Amino acid sequence: MAVLFAWNQRPNEKISYENLRLATELPDPELRRTLWSLCAFPKLKRQLLLVEPHAATPKDFANDTRFWVNQEFAIVFVYFILSN
């Protein structure tokens, strides 16, 4: 939650890994795991966070790697009502 809170007052900005590390005060391995889960979840068509440059693993995140909120992200719930 601390990671996503970084965009609370600036939803359209790109934030560097280093700035996220400073803002969240999370240990490096925890921050990498958290960011990876938000930008590389393979089962979603659209990720919550986008990353630049592309990273193949969380170890690829450098201090100048930038993250931003994907404004096209949406979770669609489909409800089917079966009638007899």
Q: Which domains does the chain have, with CATH numbers?
A: 1-69 (3.30.230.130)
Task: Name the pTM for this structure.
Answer: 0.79
Q: Tell me how far CA of residue 18 lies from CA of 29, 35, 80, in angstroms.
A: 13, 12, 45
Contact present, 64 and 17 (Cβ < 8 Å): yes
pLDDT digits (tens, 9 = 90+) for 20-70: 999 999 999 999 999 998 988 766 667 889 999 988 899 999 999 999 998
Quick one: pLDDT at residue 51? 93
Neighbouring residues of 45: CB distance < 8 A, sequence distance ≥ 6: none
Sheet containing strand 15-16, strands side by side: 15-16, 66-69, 49-52
